Structure 1
Amino acid sequence: MTAKSYARSIELPTETLFRNLKNAKQFAIDIGGSLAKLAYCSTIQRRTSMVFDEPEQDSSEHVYNISETEESILRLHFIKFETKYIETCLDFIKINLIESTEFMKDKYIKATGGGAHKYTDLISSKLGVQVDKEDEMECLITGCNFLLKNIPDEAFIYQRHGNPEYKFQGVNHNIFPYLLVNIGSGVSLIKVESENKYERIGGTSTGGGTFWGLGSLLTKAKSFDELVELAEQGDHRSVDMLVKDIYGGAYATIGLPGDIIASSFAKAARSTKDKNKSSFKDEDVAKSLLLSISNDIGQIAYLQAKIHNLKKIYFGGYFIRGHPMTMHTITYAINFWSKGEIQALFLRHEGYLGAIGAFLKGANDSKDDHSFVWGEHFAGSSGLASPKCSGFFGKTRSSTFDMLELDRLDKPLLPCPLLLDAQNYLPDTVDLTQDEEAREYWLQCFTNGVDKTKQQAIKSQAQSSDAEKRAEKFVIRYLDRLKVLKENPYCYGSLTVRSLLDTSSQYLSELHFTDPYSQQKQFENEQAVKLLSNHLRDLEKLEWPDRQLELAQGILAGNMFDWGAKEVCKLMESPGFGFKEARSRLQARPWLFDDFDEWCIRLKTHPIHKCAVIFCDNSGADIILGIFPLAQELLANGTKVILCVNSRPALNDVIFSELLILVKKVAAISSEINSALNEGRLQVMENGQGSPCLDLRLIDNDLVNMMVKENADLIILEGMGRAVHTNFHARFTCDVLKVAVIKNKWLANRLGGDMFNVMFKFEKARQVSLVTKQ
């Protein structure tokens, strides 16, 4: 049987499901009674831009050369499929993995879940590998800890009819202690105190299996999902006896509202109708059953949390699986029993906990370094279902599987140590899941910009015979994602301008357009370097107050050169548009946000800043004519400077490998930059990200250590992505300067201004409050 016929037999599209199997290094499986979850790690080859220095004699003509090469990254793939197809799926894995690569021969597979015991012989005989069974609970906890620490917006609160319906919790590095309620066929409650300290503190046999079993007896539903869909449409009040049915209203003395269920299914017992299940609607019976089981689980979970003084309860398992109706009933139960003191938390990828845990156990055994941070690869992942559809995958998706992919990042990432309140920090200025007007605008904005991105991608690889075909695939895939997000803005976590930009970059990278602006950046860098000497000379002639204003306006003029802004692209494509022309477009003072005078006062006061950390934006005039002159001024005043740039490409943002070359070119022009570079007073560092925006929850570990070591007391955030779309409201324990030109008319109007208005915000260091410390 062919791979395609296997795929059809289990309804799995091969192009998107079993991705990169031939490059797999290791895999693990979690086999439950209903679903099996496969995890495997592959080596992915992706194109990247490598920057090479030119000989010194060419420095006046060229800044650097760029060539396309390939780099290897590790990607984790997670896939669910129905356990009843386990034999067919194992045959598929054998054909596409075991027999097509030497790596897995004579190896073992980590397995967990009940099926690890039930199907041991089947797995061994089919795949020809040893089955190494791992403890289910240990794998569950390991996987949960992994997701909470690695994936932004993994945990969320579900509020039916709320705005937003999904409230995501961001990244929290202090996750312990918590209660994990795993609702499979039965229910286990696990108290988790640390990575290695946990215990099962309770459970109940009334769980998902109970709901499915009784539902099968009482209704015509043929599957779990069909039963949940029936419950979504039902009205339990025709089956359940309410408090008001007994008292005629609320029982105020003991605080019971009239609409609270007094007895599940009690009206069925008192009904004068024929006593058989056809007397009541299947939808109403399913709804009553779902509420009965959910309320009991919620009460048990609350009582255990109260006994053990746990404030966070995460719910997962086959019973949950992102079903809005199920999450609503659990949430209601927890709110009712805890009187609003505890909120039910859910996980976007809770179905993969055991598979992740089993995979990590294998990584430990093979001594692979899994301490790196992993980030979600949206281009290969499926999202949460729309709350408009009760089925987990929505009406247009297969009911047999969903997918998750994670990319291992180059270095460990940590929160910025200068955030005032890292635990509650959220990078994004606008949450598009809440702001409907903003969501409609930005989704349409990105839709309108797809063709421009396509043309730039083709242009960047004009010599490639398949560039146009790959670029067209990008358009199709990204437009499809935007359509999904329009229908269900919650499905991939918080929807923001940052996530839309990052998802676009991931799709481009997936189709081997890793750095579409590399040639454009090279050209702009060459032109800007030619202007730098005269620009620095002109600055030196100015008196101190005038020079500070000219430096500020230089940063702003440089920040105009942004290929991610539609209106600016039109200007940049017009003949003769350069640094002077950009400066002339700037808003005259007073600016829209104008703290320039306060900034100057701070510069005159003592002590001077010990160390400034500048998060830079674009290549070309921005970094060379805007940021480097400012850095030179700070260095001359005795302030150490750390220039932070992206680790990976995004639009025309300057990246680390470029800046290593550029700083040498600038040092050849500026003696102050040269001496500071040689003495270590000027540092060039990567921020660990590859986005036009900046998430200070996850920045490069080396940068974090350097900020602490150098006692950094000034942060400069430059550009719309870093200072407006993200970090506009961010607060710091050090001074912060937020500088940008508003290059989007809709956003400018939202902020109370107009196109090319200026943001120059200076905020003094704030003290960490006692509340925050606690």
Structure 2
Amino acid sequence: MTDKSYARSIELPTESLFRNLKNAKQFAIDIGGSLAKLAYCSTIQRRTSMVISYEIFQFCFQTCSDHVYNISETEESILRLHFIKFETKYIESCLDFIKSNLFEFGGRSGLSNEKCIKATGGGAHKYKDLITSKLGVQVDKEDEMECLITGCNFLLNNIPDEAFIYQRHGNPEYRFQGVNHDIFPYLLVNIGSGVSLIKVESESKYDRIGGTSTGGGTFWGLGSLLTKAKSFDELVELAEKGDHRSVDMLVKDIYGGAYATIGLPGDLIASSFAKAARSPRDRNNEDVAKSLLLSISNDIGQIAYLQAKIHGLKKIYFGGYFIRGHPMTMHTITYAINFWSKGEIQALFLRHEGYLGAIGAFLKGANETQDDASFVWGEHFAGSSGLASPKCSGFFGKPRSSTFDMLELDRLGKPLLPCPLLLDVKDYFPDTVDLTVDTDAREYWLQCFANGIEKVCSQAIKSQSNLPDVKPRAEKFKSKYLDRLQELKENPCAYGSLTVRSLLDTSSQYLSELYFTDPYSQQKQFENEQAVKLLSSHLSELDKLDWHQRQLELVQGILAGNMFDWGAKEVCKLMETGEFGFKEARLRLQSRPWLFDDFDLWCKRFSVKPNHKCAVIFCDNSGCDIILGIFPMARELLSQGTKVILCVNSRPTLNDVTYSELVILVKKVAAISSQINDALLSERLLVMENGQGSPCLDLRLIDYDLVNTMKKLETDLVILEGMGRAVHTNFQARFSCDVLKIAVIKNKWLANRLGGDMFNVMFKFEKARQIASSASNEKS
């Protein structure tokens, strides 16, 4: 086969598979007998908006002028990891493709800037000379077991919803395990040609405690002898259609029913393939493949359970070529573990288990080149493929193919840790509604985001109207996101738990992919300037009120400010008229009693000494929200002796205020309010970033410095503001400190679900809770 015909057969355009190859560096490869997994790192340039010159900032701070900052387009660099799979038999053509494109785009011969490529897997030795000759680099072979463990630890530590339980015919079929920072110990069962069982106790301590020669190679080999299947995937597909009962002897075939005295159900397999010897008629390929799959899976499941029991392990992760996300394979493994453990242990699978070795090899190289491998990485959904649908072989009539199984990760600025004030992080689930489970909610929100796509495109074009390629990029965003929504409609579990948060985040990632990093930048700057004009008079009016009236006005100010949300369709209609201001927003609010009304309870606590030591406010939108709503509340808390942390997004999304913007705004406000200025100078008022770039808030993964500051200042009050942070997420979150959850419900469907209507108010005050002791739990 020629290179050209190969390229046509598996379609290898740079954009589709080898993305961002022109900026690639730090290669690693895991070469198996059937599939090769390539990892490489690239620098991505993202277009963003920034305010010009520091001198203009200083001028604005000192004069409090009405100057609207000039916006200029610039670029920022991020580091992205790419992982792709292709068939090992085509490795030579793929290496030629990589070499030619690196030379064409990078202007360098091969990979001359790289000292070596890390390689692991059974083919690392076999293809060592080929890689050296093609790419002109040294090949360092890394231990396969060490790479597997390193890769597994990496995924479990970095990727939310990486691990899942598979339940055939369940609703949903995939149940994801969320973020677990306490991953050790566990048993990794790697099912390749044979099977290795590895006990993992820490990042560096692991032992191979067992194995079996009956694995994926056995299934494929015997399947080739017993059926007409020509590939591994074809054999699995045959098994999906088969009925093993025509081949396997069941307990009821021997005893006429269940063997109740020893606990054996009638449908349990008593002897694999036994009926084949007793009946002369030919068996169809499907039934034979199904029997073979069950036989091998049951044996692997029993061995894994016994080793877990011997070593006291409660978590068993399965991976390797044998699994590869095939629903039937996962079902048979799950059934076996459930049967042998009597339901005490559940089989766990990994969304990206095929990349364990490649990730481990890459990290090994990163450590040796002194690239800091300790950074946190987040999944880039716009460039990753999801789990295959258990109901069909592919999406939109396309056959499932490992060729286009891709994973991309973006490096985040700092490590992310769980919020220290969560009552129990193990029980915390950020999202109020799991759309993988709630069918009605899923249908509504998928359609809602599809209906809103034109508005998003319009804003993206408006934000860069001076650029000639803006409309084609916006159309490309629209096409990609609608395709993703359709994919999620077909298979809601493809990318982990499906939630409003994940839909919003995926939209932001697609926008960023097409260089629309901050489409609302200019709009935010304009709204900030308009709100600053009103701040002085607003504070004066607040100061004229008595204590109780002021508390109500402060809360209503936050609620009125929270109305200004460009992510809410009905509010957008109001704001686009140009006649909707802070006063008009106040008039739209629900009158007391509110839908959720703990205002009196809050006042009672706020009036009692001692006051809170430190409050962290997770802020929402720019403009009136932050300036006329949050800053006055922060001033009130400061006046009571409470330190305040204003916490905002690290990266832009919608019209949410970002850290870089708030650093500027706080100085503008300090020039107007002496209390804010004094608190800022004395560091009783701090501005910090949350480590995220989402309209929602996942408190399992917040900024490392924020976590440490919250602990240091003994934070005892959390304020969650806005629908994204207090309704779509954290509505049910429990804290070990006092918490305020404040939002205006700006979606009619959601308001009705909560028992209210549009523009109803949520003001929930929840007192600090404590985890019940084991003794009290036993008593209850």
CA shift at 1:397, angstroms?
4.5
CA shift at 1:7, angstroms?
2.7
**Quick one: distance in 2 between partners of 1:69 and 1:514?**
11
**Quick one: distance in 2 between partners of 1:3 and 1:459?**
44
Do the aligned residues in 2 keep the contact of 1:442 with 1:497 (CA within 8 Å)? yes
The partner residue of 1:228 within 236, 253, 270 is 236
- Residue 676 in structure 1 maps to residue 679 in structure 2: yes
**Quick one: distance in 2 between partners of 1:748 and 1:355?**
46
Runs of 4+ with deviation above 4 angstroms: 1-6, 390-394, 771-774
SS of match in other structure, 1:182: strand
- Residue 241 in structure 1 maps to residue 249 in structure 2: yes
Deviates more, 1:363-372 or 1:89-98: 89-98
1:54-453 aligned at under 5 Å gives the runs: 55-56=59-60, 59-62=64-67, 64-97=69-102, 100-102=106-108, 104-105=111-112, 107-273=115-281, 279-390=282-393, 395-453=398-456
Do the aligned residues in 2 keep the contact of 1:450 with 1:475 (CA within 8 Å)? yes
Change (3 A) 1:394 1:386: farther
Do the aligned residues in 1 keep the contact of 2:118 with 2:140 (CA within 8 Å)? yes
Change (3 A) 1:398 1:13: farther
In structure 2, stretches of 5+ residues that fail to align are none
Do the aligned residues in 2 keep the contact of 1:63 with 1:662 (CA within 8 Å)? no
CA shift at 1:272, angstroms?
3.6
Structure 2 match to 1:588: 591
Do the aligned residues in 2 keep the contact of 1:54 with 1:63 (CA within 8 Å)? no
CA shift at 1:424, angstroms?
2.3
Q: How many residues align?
A: 769
Which residue identity lines up with residue 98 of structure 2 in the other structure? I
TM-score, L = length of structure 1: 0.97
**Quick one: distance in 1 between partners of 2:15 and 2:382?**
13
Structure 2 match to 1:750: 753
CA shift at 1:14, angstroms?
2.8
Do the aligned residues in 2 keep the contact of 1:54 with 1:62 (CA within 8 Å)? no
Change (3 A) 1:535 1:713: same
Q: 1:200-232, CA deviations, whole angstroms, 9 ceiling, x for partnerless residues?
A: 000011111111111111111111111111111
Which residue identity lines up with residue 586 of structure 2 in the other structure? R
CA shift at 1:13, angstroms?
3.7
Do the aligned residues in 2 keep the contact of 1:11 with 1:398 (CA within 8 Å)? no
Which residue identity lines up with residue 299 of structure 1 in the other structure? Q
SS of match in other structure, 2:465: coil
Which residue identity lines up with residue 55 of structure 1 in the other structure? F
Which residue identity lines up with residue 583 of structure 1 in the other structure? R
Change (3 A) 1:63 1:610: farther
SS of match in other structure, 1:311: coil
Do the aligned residues in 2 keep the contact of 1:215 with 1:289 (CA within 8 Å)? yes
**Quick one: distance in 2 between partners of 1:248 and 1:62?**
88
Q: 1:653-683, CA deviations, whole angstroms, 9 ceiling, x for partnerless residues?
A: 0001110010011011111000000000000
Deviates more, 1:212-221 or 1:635-644: 212-221
Q: 1:343-378, CA deviations, whole angstroms, 9 ceiling, x for partnerless residues?
A: 000000000000000000000110101111100001
CA shift at 1:392, angstroms?
11
Do the aligned residues in 2 keep the contact of 1:562 with 1:652 (CA within 8 Å)? yes
TM-score, L = length of structure 2: 0.97
**Quick one: distance in 2 between partners of 1:326 and 1:552?**
55
Change (3 A) 1:41 1:2: farther
**Quick one: distance in 1 between partners of 2:280 and 2:3?**
57
CA RMSD, aligned part only? 1.7
Structure 2 match to 1:34: 34
Do the aligned residues in 2 keep the contact of 1:80 with 1:400 (CA within 8 Å)? yes
Do the aligned residues in 2 keep the contact of 1:191 with 1:198 (CA within 8 Å)? yes
Change (3 A) 1:114 1:154: same
**Quick one: distance in 2 between partners of 1:98 and 1:270?**
64
Do the aligned residues in 1 keep the contact of 2:85 with 2:402 (CA within 8 Å)? no
Which residue identity lines up with residue 668 of structure 2 in the other structure? K
Q: 1:383-403, CA deviations, whole angstroms, 9 ceiling, x for partnerless residues?
A: 000011257998444443310
CA shift at 1:66, angstroms?
3.1
Deviates more, 1:120-129 or 1:625-634: 120-129
**Quick one: distance in 1 between partners of 2:200 and 2:471?**
51
Do the aligned residues in 1 keep the contact of 2:381 with 2:506 (CA within 8 Å)? yes
Which residue identity lines up with residue 104 of structure 1 in the other structure? L
Change (3 A) 1:673 1:571: same
SS of match in other structure, 1:576: coil
SS of match in other structure, 2:687: strand
In structure 1, stretches of 5+ residues that fail to align are 274-278
**Quick one: distance in 2 between partners of 1:581 and 1:2?**
69
Structure 2 match to 1:276: none
Do the aligned residues in 1 keep the contact of 2:249 with 2:275 (CA within 8 Å)? yes
**Quick one: distance in 1 between partners of 2:504 and 2:600?**
34
Change (3 A) 1:392 1:537: closer
Q: 1:169-200, CA deviations, whole angstroms, 9 ceiling, x for partnerless residues?
A: 11111100000000011100000000000010
**Quick one: distance in 2 between partners of 1:582 and 1:683?**
28
**Quick one: distance in 2 between partners of 1:2 and 1:62?**
63
CA shift at 1:54, angstroms?
5.3
CA shift at 1:155, angstroms?
0.3
Which residue identity lines up with residue 752 of structure 2 in the other structure? N
- Residue 628 in structure 1 maps to residue 631 in structure 2: yes
Q: 1:239-285, CA deviations, whole angstroms, 9 ceiling, x for partnerless residues?
A: 11000010110000110000000000111011143xxxxx0111111
SS of match in other structure, 1:662: helix
Change (3 A) 1:394 1:300: farther
1:606-755 aligned at under 5 Å gives the runs: 606-755=609-758
